């Protein structure tokens, strides 16, 4: 059996990565872990600020926003999504109407800026 090159990185092969994340519970686990990490945070005005750089299809982000709404229904959300794939942007936009209806005090920004520019 041929061995993978030492330079091979699983996440560099989009088809293999997509097959993995769409057939496992990775997205759910990532979102749940992020919510646990944010559980002890106290929102500070003017809003809860969230940056998702590489949001994929938005599944984990949508789950995180639902969890944040449960904990902080009163706090506005300022969410910046950095994504370069137009297909992923389309998939993200399909998931967001429910989150925006659930939490109308949400500002949602989608961008393809470079990471350093999106964080500035």
- Whole-model pTM: value is 0.77
* Whether the predicted pLDDT of 12 surpasses 80: no
Extended beta strands in 28-116, E state = 48-53, 77-82, 106-111
pLDDT at residue number 8: 63
- What SS3 state is found at 107? strand
**pLDDT tens sequence across 23-63:** 777 788 888 998 999 888 888 889 999 988 888 888 899 99
Taking domain 11-119, whether its CATH number is 3.40.50.2300 is answered by no
Instruction: Give residue 3's Cα distance to chain centre.
Output: 33
pLDDT tens, position by position, 64-117: 999 999 999 999 999 999 888 888 889 899 999 999 999 999 999 998 877 777
Closest by CA to 78, choosing from 104, 118, 58, 49, is: 49
Residues in the chain, total: 120
Q: Give me the residue spans of the domains in the chain.
A: 11-119
Cα distances from 8 to residues 11, 19, 22, 26, 87, in angstroms, run 9, 17, 21, 21, 25
């Amino acid at each position: 059996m041929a061995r993978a090159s030492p330079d091979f990185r699983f996440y560099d092969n989009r088809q293999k990565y997509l097959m993995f994340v769409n057939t496992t519970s990775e997205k759910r686990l990532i979102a749940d872990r992020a919510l646990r990490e944010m559980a002890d945070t106290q929102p500070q005005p003017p809003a809860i600020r969230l940056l998702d750089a590489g949001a994929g299809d938005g599944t984990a982000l949508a789950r995180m926003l639902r969890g944040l709404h449960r904990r902080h229904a009163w706090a506005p959300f300022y969410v910046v999504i950095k994504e370069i794939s137009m297909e992923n942007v389309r998939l993200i936009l399909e998931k967001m109407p429910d989150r925006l209806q659930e939490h109308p005090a949400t500002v949602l920004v989608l961008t393809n800026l470079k990471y350093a520019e999106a964080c500035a």
